[in-house]
């Protein structure tokens, strides 16, 4: 195996963890997967008409969007679960916080981007951390953001029911500062990012990726040769009047 030269994770662990992430990537989509969260034909109609795009083009864009969202979740898996292999005492529990170090009384909630939580979600997360501190006076809780506005390890200031709240032991931490905390190396995250392209290349060259497959259009055409009509019937077939629906 290639020597990736990272002091805080073994070559084998880095390769295998990255491989698990690559193997989660989606290559195949059928109508059931496409409609798993219920397609909105009204939205796709607007997209088609407002942007002057054919319905097939709009459907293809929706397929790409869904697959990208799924793959983004897999990148979250990569960021979180790598801490099964980095540092001393760090682990990824099956339930509860995303990452913990029980010996150090550290409890981590990880988000990919600084703006992925709305106000309600932020408040809920913060109150959960407050409860952790009430039950463990030694606890340190952190919201770790992979893509933060700045490199930071700061007190998380928040408003609860209109009142400003802060606690020294509830913090917002960028991923580079979290890697530094876990590994003791200031540029550990940068070093990982430098090696990651080579690791992925090695994996892609070694394994056989799934063949791309898309049966969405053929399955829609089985409903109706008119793709737009098929989308409406897919979602609204049991609604009043759609037995003789035409567009």
Stretch among 7-16, 114-123, 146-155 having the lowest mean pLDDT: 114-123
Domain-located, residue 155: yes
Domain-located, residue 247: no
pLDDT of residue 211: 78
pLDDT bucket at 140, cuts 50 / 70 / 90: very high
Domain-located, residue 231: yes
SS3 percent helix, strand, coil of the chain, rounded to 5, is: 50, 15, 35
Q: Kindly state whether residues 112 and 48 are assigned to the same domain.
A: no
Q: Kindly state whether residues 172 and 219 are assigned to the same domain.
A: no
Query: Residue 181: is it exposed, middle or buried by C-beta count within 10 angstroms (0-12/13-18/19+)?
Result: buried
Q: Kindly state whether residues 136 and 153 are assigned to the same domain.
A: yes
State mean pLDDT over 106-110.
97
pLDDT of residue 120: 86
Query: In terms of residue numbers, what domain contains 70?
Result: 11-82+211-240
pLDDT of residue 164: 93
pLDDT bucket at 115, cuts 50 / 70 / 90: low
Q: Kindly state whether residues 95 and 143 are assigned to the same domain.
A: yes
pLDDT of residue 119: 85
Q: Kindly state whether residues 129 and 166 are assigned to the same domain.
A: yes
Task: Answer yes or no: are the C-beta atoms of 22 and 200 closer than 8 Å.
Answer: yes
Give the number of domains in the chain: 2
Domain-located, residue 3: no
Round to whole Å and give the CA distance between 86 and 98.
14
pTM above 0.85, yes or no: yes
Q: Kindly state whether residues 183 and 94 are assigned to the same domain.
A: yes
pLDDT of residue 161: 84
Strand partners, 9: none
Domain-located, residue 5: no
Please tell me which residue, 184 or 2, carries the higher pLDDT value. 184
pLDDT of residue 37: 86
Q: Kindly state whether residues 130 and 202 are assigned to the same domain.
A: yes
Q: Kindly state whether residues 163 and 198 are assigned to the same domain.
A: yes
Q: Kindly state whether residues 182 and 215 are assigned to the same domain.
A: no
State the CB neighbour count (10 A cutoff) for residue 99. 25
Domain-located, residue 6: no
Domain-located, residue 1: no
Round to whole Å and give the CA distance between 23 and 245.
42
Q: Kindly state whether residues 127 and 151 are assigned to the same domain.
A: yes
Q: Kindly state whether residues 107 and 155 are assigned to the same domain.
A: yes
The CA-based angle 92-95-97, given to 5 degrees, is 60
Task: Answer yes or no: are the C-beta atoms of 155 and 171 closer than 8 Å.
Answer: yes
Q: Kindly state whether residues 176 and 140 are assigned to the same domain.
A: yes
Domain-located, residue 4: no
120 alpha carbon, distance to own chain's centre? 19
């Amino acid at each position: 195996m290639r020597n990736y030269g990272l002091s805080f994770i073994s070559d084998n662990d880095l390769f295998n963890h990255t491989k698990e992430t690559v193997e989660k990537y989606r290559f195949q989509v059928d109508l059931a997967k496409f409609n798993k969260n219920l397609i909105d034909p009204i939205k796709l109609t607007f997209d088609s008409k407002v942007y002057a795009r054919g319905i097939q083009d709009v459907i293809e864009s929706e397929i790409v969007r869904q697959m990208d969202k799924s793959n983004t979740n897999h990148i979250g898996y990569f960021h979180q679960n790598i801490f099964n292999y980095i540092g001393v005492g760090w682990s990824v529990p099956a339930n509860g916080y995303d990452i913990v170090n029980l010996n150090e009384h550290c409890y981590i909630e990880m988000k990919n981007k600084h703006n992925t939580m709305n106000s309600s979600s932020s408040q809920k997360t913060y109150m959960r951390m407050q409860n952790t501190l009430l039950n463990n006076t030694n606890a340190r809780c952190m919201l770790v953001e992979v893509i933060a506005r700045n490199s930071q390890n700061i007190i998380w200031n928040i408003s609860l029911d209109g009142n400003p709240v802060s606690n020294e032991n509830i913090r917002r931490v960028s991923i580079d500062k979290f890697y530094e905390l876990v590994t003791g190396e200031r540029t550990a995250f940068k070093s990982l990012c430098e090696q990651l392209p080579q690791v992925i290349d090695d994996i892609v060259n070694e394994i056989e990726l799934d063949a791309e497959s898309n049966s969405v259009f053929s399955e829609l055409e089985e409903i109706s040769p008119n793709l737009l009509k098929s989308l409406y019937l897919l979602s609204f077939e049991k609604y009043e009047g759609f037995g003789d629906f035409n567009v």
